[in-house]
Amino acid sequence: MIGEITLLDIFGASGLIILLIGFYLEHFRQYARTHFVFNLTNLIGSAILGIYAYEIGSNVFLALEFIWAAIAGAFLLQYFLKEQSTRKTQPAVSRPHPKTGKKR
C-alpha cells in the first residue's frame, strides 16, 4: 500500500540506508572494499535487510542478503585475524620518556 508506512518498512529502510552509506564511503574513496567500516556497514545493512526479506516473505531477497552478509562477515573475520596476527608479531615500540627524552 502506498501511503501507509509501517515499523517494518522503517526497519527495512534503515538497512538500506546503512548499505548505501557503506557504498557511498567506498565509492568516494573514503574506505577500501577491504576496510573494516565498509564491511561492517555491509554486514549490518544486509542483516537488517535479510530480516526484512524474511518478514515480507521474499525468499530470493533473503538469499541475496544472506550471501551478502556472509561475504561481509568473512571479510571482517579476515580483518580481525590479520589485526590479531599483526599485533602478535610487532615488536614493542620504544618511546622516549616525555620529560627526559631518553628511550625506555
Sequential pLDDT tens for the chain (104 residues): 568 999 999 999 999 999 999 899 888 877 777 788 889 999 999 999 999 999 999 999 999 999 999 999 999 999 888 888 877 666 556 667 666 766 65
C-alpha cell at 54: 524474511
Q: What is the pLDDT of residue 93?
A: 60
pTM for this predicted structure: 0.74
Residue type, position 104, single letter:
R
Angle at 67 between CA 48 and CA 6, to 5 degrees: 25
Helix runs in the chain, H state only:
7-27, 36-56, 59-89
